[in-house]
Every structure is written in C-alpha cells, then in structure tokens.
Structure 1
Amino acid sequence: MKFAYKFSNLLGTVYRHGNLNFTPDGNSLISPVGNRITVFDLKNNKSETLPLATRRNVTCVGLSPDGNLAILVDEEGVALLVNLISKAVIHQFHFQKPVHSVCFSPNGKKFVVTKDKVALMYHAPGKKREFNAFVLDTTYYGAYDETTCIDWTDDSKCFAVGSKDMSTWVFGAERWANLIYYALGGHKDSIVSCFFEENSLDLYTVSRDAALCVWQCDTELNGLKPRMPKQQTEEELAKDQEEGFTEEQQGKEVQGKVNESEQGRQKKVKYSCAAKYFFNKEGDFNNLTAAAYHKKTHLLVTGFASGIFHLHELPYFSLIHSLSISDQKIASISINSTGDWIAFGCSGLGQLLVWEWQSESYVLKQQGHFNSMVSLAYSPDGQYLATGGDDGKVKIWNTSSGFCFVTFTEHTSSISAVTFTSSGYVILSASLDGTVRAFDLHRYRNFRTFTSPRPAQFSSLAVDSSGEIVSAGSQDSFEVFVWSIQSGRLLDVLAGHEGPISSLCFNPMKCVLASGSWDKTVRLWDMLDSWRTKETLSLNSDVLAVAFSPDGNELAVASLDGQITFWDHDNAVQTGSIEGRHDLQMGRKELDKITAKQAAKGKSFTTLCYSADGQSILAGGLSKFVCIYHIKEQILMKKFEISCNLSLDAMEEFLDRRKMTEFGSMALIDEGTGDDDGVAIPLPGVKRGDMSSRHFKPEIRVACLRFSPTGRSWAATTTEGLLIYSLDSGLVFDPFDLEIGITPSNVHRVLHQKEYVKAIVMAFRLNEKKLIQEVLETVPCNDIEVICSSLPELYIEKLLEFLASSFERSRHLEFYLLWTQKLLMLHGCNLKTRSGKLLPTIHFLQKSIQRHFEDVSKLCDWNCYNMKYILAISQQRGIKRTAEESENGDLQYLEESSNDSFIEESVVLS
C-alpha cells in the first residue's frame, strides 16, 4: 500500500518515568517513555520503540526471568502483558488501583504486584494458551501505608515488601511452618528498596532518609519447613480409630504431635539488626530516591535527589565511587546481570545513562529535549534528523540507530526552525535569540553566525537549493533578512509584510522565495532580480505555513481558517483548496469552558509537507491526527492518530463524568500540594509545559512534519517526541509457503545430510533468523558459489535482505561478503529487471558494507602505521647493534693482532 505507513520508532525521548530493566543477557535496556517502552540494544548501538502503547503513561515495568514477557502498568493500574519477541500484546488486565511495583519470581512461575497497602501474588502466564493469563494466588496484608518495593529470594520461596510506613515485611510465597510473615522496623522514613542476600534470607533495607539496615536471619533457606494442613491430625485420629488403636495410644500420638508443633513454634524464623549505616554523614545530600543491588558482586548503588550516586560494597559498607550525574534527582537505577553496567534514569531532565563503573566510562549517555520539540529536518540522504526545541538545543539523530550523536547548545533561546543545506554537511538553525547559526557536521562546531542590524526574533528559516543563500523571517519587525553563507554578509532586508512572518520556503527549481505572514498574504520574492516582489497572493485568513511542491510548479498555503489552498505561483492563480477543519477532530481540554465542537472551530493546520512524488501532502496542527491528502483529487487519503495517551490534554472529545465533583472537575483540584509529583495547573493560555517531568497535562499537538527524501517514511515532532512512521515493516515471524513437514528438526536433519540448498529454502520458509543464520554458517566456503547458482530466484531477494541485516551484528565479515559477491555476480542480470523493488534492500546492503569498510579501513590504517613504526624502530636498533658489533669486532681484531705480534717477538727472542 502506498499510504500504509506504520509506527516505526520514537526518538527525542529516552526516559520519562518508571523503573528501568536490563534484559537477562545484560546487553539491552528497557526504558518506559510516556505510554510506550523503548529497548536500547547497547551491544549493537540501536534503539527501538515497540509499536504498542498503554492508555496512560507507564509507571512500572515487570520483566520475566527469561526476558520474553513484560508487564506494563500505567497510571490507573491497567496492565498489558507483552511478548517482547513478537512485540504484541497478549493480555490486558485492570488492577483497579495505581500499582507501585511489579516483580517476577526468579523461577518465573509467579509475580507480585504492590498496590495501596497490599501485595498480590499471581500465577505467571505459562507457555500454554490460557483463558485468563493473570490468576490471583494470595493476597498479603500487613503494611499500614502504601507499599513501595519488592524483592525475591533466589529460590523463590519468600519475598520482601517495603512500605511508606517505615516497615519491611517478609512473606512466604508458599505455606511455611516457621515463616508466615515477619515485620522489620528500624527506619525513620519510608522504605525505598529492600534486597535479599544471595542464597540467604539476610536482608538489606534502604530508606528515604539515606539509612541502610543490615538484617541477619537465624534460618537458612533450606531451613524453611512446609506447613502441615490443619485437619491432618483429625484425619489421622479417625484412621487410628478404624485400625483399633486404644485411647492411651491415641493420646500418646496426639501428645507427640503437639510436642512437634511446639518445637516448630520455638524454631520460628527470627531477624536481628546486625548493623545500621548512614549515607549522608556530612549532611551534603538530599533524600535517597533510588537504589539497586547486585547479589553476586555485593554491589549497592544508591541515587539521591541532588543527582549524586554512590557505589558501596556490602556488607562492610565500603565506598567504591561517589559521582554526580546532574542537579536533578535520580528516579530509577538498574544493574545488568554481570554487574558491569549501571543504568540511571533522571525524570527531571529526561536523561538516561549507562555507566561502566569498573572502567569509569559511559556506555550510553542520551538526553532528549528538556522542553517540547518545535522543528525538524531530514538530511538529503535521509540518514540523519535534526531537531530544535524550546530549550535552545539543536540535536542530530541517526535514523537507523535512533541515537543522538551531537548536540549544539550555542543558542540562548528557543529554536524556531532548522534545515539542512543541499550538501548535507551544514545545519542552519533560527532562534528567538536573534541569531541564525550554521553548524558544521564534519568538525561539529558553529562556524557562522548571522545577525540582523536591529535585534529581531526569527520565527522562520529557508535555504535555497544551491546552499548559498539563507533567509530568515522575524516576528517583531515583519521583515525577511537574506545572508550569504560563504561570506556571512547581510545581502538584503525584504520589507513589505504588515504582520509577523510565519513561514518561508524556497522554490527547489527557481530562485524564488515565498514568505507567508499573519497579514493574510503570501509574497513571492525574485532572488535574481534585485530582490523585488514578484507576486503577492491574498488569502482570507492569516497564513501559517507555505510549502513548494518538489517540481516547483505548485505552492501550498495553510491558513488560520483551517483551509489548505494550492496556487500556480507563476500566474498567481488558485488551483484548488481543501477544507481540513473537520479532519482535525480537536479534543476537549479538561479546563475548557466550551465543548470540543466549538473549540475545533478555531483550530487549523500549522505545518505542511509534500510527499517525494508531489502527488500528496501531509498536514498537521493542534490535534492528535495527521492527515494525508491527495492533491489532484483534493480528498483525504488517510488519517493517522499519533497518540492514544490519555495522560496528555485534549485527547478526549467529551468530559469524563467520573471526574466531575460538586466543586467542578477534579483537574482543578490540586491534590498533591507540597508533594514531589504534585499537580501544577498551568496559567491560562499556556500550551507548552515541562515535557520531561509532566507536572501538568501538556496539550497534544504536531509542531512540524517532514517526509524523508526517499518517501519511505515521514517524521513528526509532537508532544510525545519525534515520531517516525515508515513503510518498512519488519515482522519477526513471517512464514510463506509453509507446509506441515517444514520444522526446525527437519531442517537440522537435511543440514546433517549436507543438502544445503534444501536446508536454506526450508529455513527461509520458516523465516526464523537464528535458524537461517545457523544454516548459512554451516555451509562450507568452497560450496557457496554452487549453492548460489542453484538457489531459486524467489529466495535471492530474501537472502540479500538477510545478509544486509547480518552485517550489522555478525563478526563473519569475509564469509558474508563472499555470499554477497557470489549472489550479485551470478544473479545480477536478473536483479536489474526488479531494480525498483530491490532498491531499498540494495541500499541497506550498501550502507552496511560501507559502515564496516570505514571501520575496518581505519583499523587497518592504524595497524599499518603501527607496523611501520615497529619496523622503523627495529631497523634503528639493528643498525645500532651492527655498529656496536663492528666496533667490538675491530677492537677484538686489534687485540688478537697485538697478541700475535707479542708471541712472534717472544719466539724470536727465545
């Protein structure tokens, strides 16, 4: 389908709120981002946001021990059971109340959920299909305030629950005779985390006032005794009566069982406080906000509200590190399975860090825009994305990896527009601080700054197709400034508009600049003819956005009345219009006094973008919908809902009556006064808030839209972040021509018989990557050419796609390069006929090989340099050695000759 764009990735936000989780192999990190989760592959340097979403922001994530299942719980307690392999939702469940934490048992058979004052233990979903995936096993009471944290013993026999009432409760996951529950005090503030020692019931508890208690248990894990059923003695008595035991014998039996029960009561599990430590002895730190413990290495990591974190070795509490991340509080900490990497999440800055503590280096350091994103631009090759935000930062993102690799912070105010030059190596950004800056992507520096004679706030930006002329429109002086990029000199000031300049756009084929303004006009300026006004197009409402078609023959204008008009700018004739106000479907904000239907009358499109072929146009604005229109037919082709997150404002069309009280809407009631997560109601008219901490509901909107140069994807800067929608949908399991006899065991059998072509075809029919990789890597190198020549044409394309993806993560470069070479040499002529269909695959393959070529060539050059250096040093040392040997040889010759002459003289004398 031409318009079958699907959600591909979310950039610009790396962490919002909730707990971080490492996968069992320790190579990937799962981070909650709004109402979605992002998986950061730290080994292959990639990030992927799963195409599933909850109804509200995710507050906690529980990961199964095998890493296949995850439980996502949102702010209202609605849980999604997610399969991380197929990236699909398996089951949905409502816990009825907000959930504080979720934790699977180490054996994966059960999981515990803490909500309100209770802990609920459920049977974990199994591998078989079940009618209800969540089956409640036991409800544990005991805490007098909200529960905060969970930890399991290694054998899954017991678990501990921390609470805000300053106590920690140890519960038995099964019926134990000597442990039903045990309450631990000793703290003066709410419990942040609790941890069991490895293969032991010993416990560590950490409270918010930065205190650590070490609890020792007098019983080992093997000392837990199963609890006998209550009715067993009565049944045995009845059985004894049937067998004819006397009353005296029965009395002895009963007395024996009573004595056993008394002995069991005397041997109950007991805890004692072995030690108590304090982190803030100097009083320099704030409250302790997060903690994590690695049982194998006995490493305790604690994070504080001041942005400082400590590394201690337990149980002796010896300090290893004490470092500072930022001035914001650390919201979540996680340690991977090997204990080498530590992940930190800061919700105040939307920051995510992965720290390798042994080498004291960053594995991952990512941070989104502190405030909302405003603008974006694709590079000419589509590999990079530039974004500008209200925080005054310009960030460059890699579309394939999803990571930001450079941030420019030279601007001192909000960024209003960013764009790439035609070469792709220069980024230009306009800001409200009165400057337009040019950044070099080779040296990562600001090499040119453009300013106006009088201070002006620049609200729009455009660069011509040659990359020589840059123009910016101001919103206070109503003028358009034109500079030369080469010299940095101001060429001209274009005056004539009577309102703020809202949008600028250069014609891609001609040197014509279109400027749209709030004075209800669009002016066309001829850049070659003395900067004069070529045409003036009058509209019925304020102009918000202008865009030229890729061929330069058409101009699209979005106005405040919700219309998109199309113009033949050469003849100044309107060729068509689209009424888009009904397609926006604006929702009602919680604090609005009017209905959503009335509010939608004042909404319009604020950003436009033509598709690569110029046949359709993408439009977005103050709404959760993005619309694609067919220009010639002037009809709506498809509408995309960019978010279903009800934690954002203006998402629902009608007010929820459940949130209405006799005093008005609950949104107006500030319930969290003085709390860290309190509700901060914005001032009237304020639409932009703190996007990272989300103290109040920000309004859903689309600030900027751009198609990629290839047309395969488009990106949108929204309240949620930078959303990317793509046509490339990669399914994990997508079998074709599948038959009953095609199974992994049969593939292995055929492979064992050395029928390689048949094994490859069967593996591709199953379409499991690991199986395909195993089959290909079993093939001997000498047989590759024969196998490539006998493969059916249907599997050539699929094999090329697999090779392109394998280059990114495999170490067998020469082996896969040999496969690629033989395929292209033998089937190159046949592939030319399907070049249009195979172009993305070939492009992907070329990028993978080019990236490896750059990496390996640098390494080879470095090795060659080292070898030359070593040879030069060895030659110098050899020359010195030969010189020394020659000198020693001459001396020896002189000594021998002198000795010979002395002997001759002595003989003559004799």
Structure 2
Amino acid sequence: MKFNYKFQNLLGTVYRKGDILFTNDGNCVISPVGNKIVIYNLKQNKSNTLPVESHFNYTAVDIAPNGSILIAVNEKGEAQMISLLTCTVIHRYKFKQEVNAIKFSPDGKYFAACCDDTVFIMTAPCTFTGEFRSFVMKRVFKKAHDDVTCLDWSSCSKLLAVGSKDTTTKIYTIEYLDNLNMYSLSGHTDKIVGVFFEKKSLDLITVSRNGQICLWEASIDMDDLVTSEVQISHRKRRKLQNADDSEDDVDEKDVIEKDKEYVSDEDNSEVGKQEPKTEDDKRLLYKKLGRHYIGDAIRNAHHKCKLTAVQYHKETKMLVTGFSTGIFFLHEMPDVNLIHTLSISEHRISSIAMSSPGDWIAFGCPTIGQLLVWEWQSEQYVMKQQGHSLDMTCLAYSPDGLFIVTGGYDGKVKVWNTTSGFCIVTFNEHKSTVTNVTFSANKKFFVSSSLDGTVRCYDLTRYRNFRTLTSPSLVQFSCVALDSSSELCAAGGQDVFEIFLWSVKFGKLLDVLGGHEAPVSSLSFSPTLASSRLASASWDKTVRLWNCIESSSDCEIVRLTSDALQVVFRPDGEEIAVSTLDGNISFFNTTTCEQTGSVEGRNDLGSGRADTDLITPEKMLKTK
C-alpha cells in the first residue's frame, strides 16, 4: 500500500521572526514562519504556504520589482531564490554568515545583502528579457566599523545607502561615478534602524534606535550623477593622472605664471563671481536639514523602550515607527507631523511593512507570534492573527474536517479554518495548560480539559463557553472524552488517579470512577450508539473497560507490559488499540479482553544510526 502525502498548508503559527513584506499589488502579505514561508491573501481571506523549506529559520526576505522572484535567507546565511510562479527554488547561494538585511534594486538588476560589517551587491535574474543570471558578485564594500543593520536603494538604482551600528550612514555607488566615490553621514547617537531615499531624489531620511530622525538634503539631482567612462576605482585613476601630469608639470607652471601677469586683482574677483567651480557644484554633498526626536514620552515612562522597527512609504511620505513596548507612531514627512499612534500589544515590534498604495500597514511581533495588518485611514484591522505563544499540546479535527481545534501551554484554545488557514476564534477561559480537546459527534461543540481543574464546553455556533465542568476537589485533568451521543463527558486526573463523569446537558457530576494507581493518560468512548463503554489507559500498565450506565463501579482490567499512553476504539467498537511506552501498539478484544495482535514500533521510533553503530578501528578489528 502506497501513500502519496503532499504538503498543503501550515497552521498554528503566523509569524516567528524576520522580515515581513507586501506583494507588489498590495493584496498579500509574505511572512516567514520558521523554515517555511506563508503568503496571506487579504482580499480572498486565504493563506498559502510555499512548498519550499530550509534547514534553518528564514530571517531576511525580499521580493523583486516584477513580483515573480522572492529571495529568502535563513539564519545561517543560506540564500534561496524562489519563483513565485512555479513555487520552486531556482538557485541557492551561501553567504557563510548571518544576513541582517537584503533588498532588490528598483530596476531589478541587482540586490544588496548585509553580512556583519560587509555589504555584497550581486546581479539578479532579469525576467524582462528572458535572461537568467545566478548570484554573480558585482561589488563588495567593507567600510563600516560595526555590523550593518539596514539599507535602501535610490530610485535610479545607482546609489545604496547603508546604516550601521557605528551610528553612521554610508553612501555607496554601484558603478564608478566621476562626482562621487563614497560618502559618510554622521550625527546620530545610537545605531541606525532605518535609512530611506526620497522618491526620484537623492535626499535621505535616517532613523536611529533612540528615536532620532535626521533629514538630509542632496546638493544635486539623480540626473547629475556622471558615470565614469573607464570603470576603475578613484585611487587607480589618480595614480594614472599623476603619472601623466608629472611629464608636463614644467610646461604647465610656465603657462600659469604668464597668465597671472596679464590678469589684475579686480579681474580675478570678477572671474571668481562669474565662473563657479563646476567640479564642486556637480559633486554630491549632503546637508542636514533638521533633527527630530519621537517617542520621548514613552522612553521617559519606560527606560528600556527602544525604536525597533521603521518603514517609510515614499509616495505618500508616511513614516511608521515601532517600539519595543508594542506602540507604533505614524508621522507625515518631512515636517514630522504625528498622525496617529496605537498600542497593538505589550511586546516588541520587530518588522513593519507598507502596501504599495500606502493604506495598509503590517506589523510582526515575534514574542507572541502575532501578525497584524492595519488600515490607518479607517483605523480598522484588516487581519489580526496570533498563534500560540508557547508550544501546542493537543489538537482535534472536526468530524466534517472544516475546523481544527488546538490547545497549548499558554492556556489558549484556538479554532482554525482548514479552508482559509486563519484562526477564527480564540478562547482564553483556561488559566493553565490545555491538555486535551475533542469534538462532539454532532459537530455542534467541543470540550477541552486543563490543568486548572476545569473541563469546558464551547459552542461552535455562537463561539462561547456554555458549560464549565468541575470536580468537588481541585484536580488536574490530563484527558477528556465524549460519548457517541454527546451527552456524557469523562475526564481523567493527573494528580488524582480517578475518572470523573458528567452530564453535558445539565453540567452535573454523575460519578467518580476509581481504581487506577497512576495518572490517567487517555480516555475513549465506544463509537457505537448502543454501547456506553469507556476505555481508560493509565501509567499503572493497565487498561480498564467501564460500563458507565449499567454498572459504573465494575470494570474489566487488561494488563500491559509497559505504561499505557493512548487508547482508542475500533469504529465498530469490538476492539481497542493501546500504545505503550516501549513503542508497541497492542490490540485487544473488548468482549474477551484477549490480545488479538500487536505492532512493533520500536524499530520505526528508533530509526537511524546510534553512537554505537559508528565504524571505528576497534569495530573493524572485531569483524576480521
């Protein structure tokens, strides 16, 4: 028998860490989730996980200007170029170190990557002409004194602005220019978090971690940048010029002295006013227009508050800044006018993205796994998703397969839509770890057990907790089960080795079944309507079969060779399967309690090579 299982979607986590970004049409959000990438379609309300993965978690992602190529880099510096049309990996490259930021140039010909204190500029596949070029190194810059944190391209794709932890911003050129080699901007007192070029201009905006914003004005426009005819460095060019000038040095001095004799002082001043220095006027220089501080009130209240994420929309001139306390500001540039502020959580905002029209803003909070899309004009949430902040402990499919219910260590119970991939409702009633969840046969509700000593029933129609089942004394419930008629609910104790039986309709405790000598690990009702038999598995190496209605105190005991972990009935109710701690699955007849078969699972669970299987010289001698 062959099974062709194919990965379909990823549920339970919406964001962990790394960059989030919008697609070029602004309808989808791309979010890295561990070693996979999920695309959330905000128009159709659906999520899709790309069928590609990495050995480590993705941290830096960016999309090409044409919208068909996605480049993703994991935390070990392994880059993958992914086609969004075929959803396959086109090319791979290893940077051999962590990449802090990556970004395509506006013309799509290059992309830049920041690794430690080095900036790599590489060629990108140009899909407009059908030409494909893999990762080819164009230029490498290693001028920063500390790690490089952020970067941005100019609209002409000739200049690259790079911010660093050394509080400086450096301007690099892709090709050698006559009027610019490299430029460095200083004036911040903390590490640079964001740097942005203005649209169709060389003016700059730099933002540092302490909430400082600096505005820089360029002396020339983009059209005034002159590309060198000979693509060699300025240092080599000066050496060649010095070699050529040394031959005619004597003749030039004679000509200058003769010219000085025929020019008076008045003529000199007039010439200086009429003929400006053309070389200095065409050279790119930056002037600081202003310095602004944002978030002073927050930092005064919280001394550890830092500006952790920033994004700038060049068309609408909107600057969004996020802080470590979960607060974000929306400012209008260049006057830095505050438009709106909102607290979305109490945790750090690590990534911000803005859609191409500029109406939607996406925020990522890695601590609680939260991903938000906010429309700032109408002040409404377009998408608000959050996974479990801690590990998940249990899940259950609905009988019709439309929903999945998950419980976690954080005490939350979440209902996921399997069609869209979104979490539709979250229940926060439990105060401790959720240990088990199960659906009713009529598909109308589900129940959950927790270590807080409660079993709660949730309605899937109105999304509310309509029943809370408790015991006379505080018990940590480890498992829960519903019978086929959805009228009886049973839960097993972890610290008290008893089974509690309730009526779901009235919420009344019907009976307490005792007999186990260790924590009850699993419960299962017979799926047949005519039977009310209950099977309970425990760590005391037994499985007990109870008749809940006729004689609840009497039970049949099945002895096992190891601790029982899980028990389940066959669909016809004539047989049970029990998994044990030694890796075996045993089958027993429910009428005679005799073993009918077993599955040896230790070979599958312990697959692979052990340390004793390594071939050493001593092992080789034994085999001879």
Same fold (TM over 0.5): yes
Contact 1:525 1:531 in 2 (8 A): yes
Whole-angstrom CA distance in 1 between matches of 2:575 and 2:182: 75
TM-score, with length taken from structure 2: 0.89
Q: 271, 275, 294: which one pairs with 1:279?
A: 294
Contact 2:125 2:132 in 1 (8 A): no
Cα displacement (A) at 1:141: 2.3
Contact 2:364 2:370 in 1 (8 A): yes
Q: Counterpart amino acid of 1:403? A: F
Q: Deviations over 1:430-453 (max 9, x none)?
A: 000000001112221111110111
Q: Does 1:501 align with 2:502?
A: no
Instruction: Give the secondary-structure state (helix, strand or coil) at the position aligned to 1:492.
Output: strand
Q: Counterpart amino acid of 1:224? A: L
Q: Counterpart amino acid of 1:511? A: S
**1:22 corresponds to:** 22
Summarize the alignment of residues 853-892 of structure 1 with structure 2, pairs less than 5 Å apart: none
Contact 1:300 1:311 in 2 (8 A): yes
Cα displacement (A) at 1:264: 3.0
Aligned in 2, Cα 1:235/1:492: closer, same or farther, shift over 3 Å? closer
Q: Counterpart amino acid of 1:452? A: S
Instruction: Give the secondary-structure state (helix, strand or coil) at the position aligned to 2:10.
Output: strand
Whole-angstrom CA distance in 2 between matches of 1:194 and 1:208: 12
Q: Does 1:537 align with 2:558?
A: yes
**1:584 corresponds to:** 605
Instruction: Give the secondary-structure state (helix, strand or coil) at the position aligned to 1:291.
Output: strand
Whole-angstrom CA distance in 1 between matches of 2:447 and 2:458: 6
Whole-angstrom CA distance in 1 between matches of 2:118 and 2:584: 55
Aligned in 2, Cα 1:22/1:455: closer, same or farther, shift over 3 Å? same
TM-score, with length taken from structure 1: 0.61
Contact 1:117 1:147 in 2 (8 A): yes
**2:183 corresponds to:** 182
Q: Does 1:527 align with 2:548?
A: yes
Aligned in 2, Cα 1:327/1:232: closer, same or farther, shift over 3 Å? closer
Whole-angstrom CA distance in 2 between matches of 1:429 and 1:75: 37
**2:398 corresponds to:** 379
Q: Deviations over 1:259-307 (max 9, x none)?
A: x9x8435632111110000013332351000000000100000000011
Aligned in 2, Cα 1:485/1:234: closer, same or farther, shift over 3 Å? closer
Summarize the alignment of residues 449-464 of structure 1 with structure 2, pairs less than 5 Å apart: 449-464=468-483
Whole-angstrom CA distance in 2 between matches of 1:268 and 1:419: 71
Cα displacement (A) at 1:583: 1.1
Q: Counterpart amino acid of 1:512? A: R
Compare 144-153 and 570-579 and name the one that shifted more. Answer: 570-579
Structure possessing the higher radius of gyration over alpha carbons:
1
Instruction: Give the secondary-structure state (helix, strand or coil) at the position aligned to 1:222.
Output: helix
Contact 1:587 1:596 in 2 (8 A): no
Instruction: Give the secondary-structure state (helix, strand or coil) at the position aligned to 1:67.
Output: coil
Say how many residue pairs are matched: 582
Instruction: Give the secondary-structure state (helix, strand or coil) at the position aligned to 2:134.
Output: coil
Whole-angstrom CA distance in 1 between matches of 2:597 and 2:180: 78
Aligned in 2, Cα 1:564/1:139: closer, same or farther, shift over 3 Å? same
Contact 2:126 2:132 in 1 (8 A): no
Contact 1:197 1:295 in 2 (8 A): yes
Q: Deviations over 1:818-876 (max 9, x none)?
A: xxxxxxxxxxxxxxxxxxxxxxxxxxxxxxxxxxxxxxxxxxxxxxxxxxxxxxxxxxx
Instruction: Give the secondary-structure state (helix, strand or coil) at the position aligned to 1:407.
Output: strand
**2:65 corresponds to:** 65
Instruction: Give the secondary-structure state (helix, strand or coil) at the position aligned to 2:187.
Output: coil
Contact 1:20 1:332 in 2 (8 A): yes
Q: Does 1:93 align with 2:93?
A: yes
Q: Does 1:312 align with 2:327?
A: no
Cα displacement (A) at 1:582: 2.1
**2:245 corresponds to:** none
Instruction: Give the secondary-structure state (helix, strand or coil) at the position aligned to 1:536.
Output: strand
Aligned in 2, Cα 1:459/1:233: closer, same or farther, shift over 3 Å? closer
Q: Does 1:572 align with 2:607?
A: no
Q: Counterpart amino acid of 1:519? A: D
Q: Does 1:549 align with 2:557?
A: no
Q: Does 1:223 align with 2:242?
A: no
Q: Does 1:54 align with 2:51?
A: no
**1:842 corresponds to:** none
Cα displacement (A) at 1:534: 4.0
Cα displacement (A) at 1:135: 0.3
Cα displacement (A) at 1:587: 8.4
Instruction: Give the secondary-structure state (helix, strand or coil) at the position aligned to 1:10.
Output: coil
**2:504 corresponds to:** 485
Summarize the alignment of residues 813-892 of structure 1 with structure 2, pairs less than 5 Å apart: none
Cα displacement (A) at 1:530: 2.0
**1:160 corresponds to:** 161
Cα displacement (A) at 1:140: 1.5
Instruction: Give the secondary-structure state (helix, strand or coil) at the position aligned to 2:229.
Output: coil
Instruction: Give the secondary-structure state (helix, strand or coil) at the position aligned to 2:151.
Output: strand
Q: Does 1:473 align with 2:471?
A: no
Q: Which runs of 5+ in 2 are unaligned?
A: 242-249, 256-274, 616-624
Whole-angstrom CA distance in 2 between matches of 1:597 and 1:531: 51
**2:459 corresponds to:** 440
Q: Does 1:12 align with 2:12?
A: yes
Summarize the alignment of residues 354-393 of structure 1 with structure 2, pairs less than 5 Å apart: 354-393=373-412
Contact 2:108 2:126 in 1 (8 A): no
Contact 1:523 1:533 in 2 (8 A): no
Instruction: Give the secondary-structure state (helix, strand or coil) at the position aligned to 2:368.
Output: coil
Q: Deviations over 1:5-27 (max 9, x none)?
A: 11111111000000101000000
Whole-angstrom CA distance in 2 between matches of 1:281 and 1:573: 74
Q: Does 1:297 align with 2:312?
A: no
**2:367 corresponds to:** 348
Whole-angstrom CA distance in 2 between matches of 1:281 and 1:221: 35
Q: Counterpart amino acid of 1:208? A: R
Cα displacement (A) at 1:59: 1.1
Whole-angstrom CA distance in 2 between matches of 1:74 and 1:453: 52
Whole-angstrom CA distance in 2 between matches of 1:232 and 1:340: 48
Whole-angstrom CA distance in 2 between matches of 1:225 and 1:287: 40
Q: Does 1:269 align with 2:288?
A: no
Aligned in 2, Cα 1:113/1:96: closer, same or farther, shift over 3 Å? same
Contact 1:586 1:596 in 2 (8 A): no
Whole-angstrom CA distance in 2 between matches of 1:217 and 1:232: 25
Whole-angstrom CA distance in 1 between matches of 2:90 and 2:571: 44
**1:425 corresponds to:** 444
Whole-angstrom CA distance in 2 between matches of 1:587 and 1:545: 25
Q: Deviations over 1:874-894 (max 9, x none)?
A: xxxxxxxxxxxxxxxxxxxxx
Instruction: Give the secondary-structure state (helix, strand or coil) at the position aligned to 1:108.
Output: coil
**1:792 corresponds to:** none
Summarize the alignment of residues 133-144 of structure 1 with structure 2, pairs less than 5 Å apart: 133-144=134-145
Whole-angstrom CA distance in 1 between matches of 2:612 and 2:62: 40
Q: Counterpart amino acid of 2:67? A: G
Q: Counterpart amino acid of 1:523? A: R
**1:838 corresponds to:** none
Aligned in 2, Cα 1:535/1:269: closer, same or farther, shift over 3 Å? same
Cα displacement (A) at 1:551: 2.4
Contact 2:224 2:282 in 1 (8 A): no
RMSD: 2.9
Q: Does 1:398 align with 2:413?
A: no
Whole-angstrom CA distance in 2 between matches of 1:277 and 1:234: 43
Instruction: Give the secondary-structure state (helix, strand or coil) at the position aligned to 2:223.
Output: helix
- In percent, how many aligned pairs have the same letter? 50
Whole-angstrom CA distance in 1 between matches of 2:289 and 2:601: 70
Instruction: Give the secondary-structure state (helix, strand or coil) at the position aligned to 1:32.
Output: strand
Q: Which has the higher strand share?
A: 2
**1:107 corresponds to:** 107
Instruction: Give the secondary-structure state (helix, strand or coil) at the position aligned to 2:279.
Output: helix
**1:847 corresponds to:** none
Contact 1:293 1:299 in 2 (8 A): yes
Instruction: Give the secondary-structure state (helix, strand or coil) at the position aligned to 1:40.
Output: strand
Cα displacement (A) at 1:132: 6.3
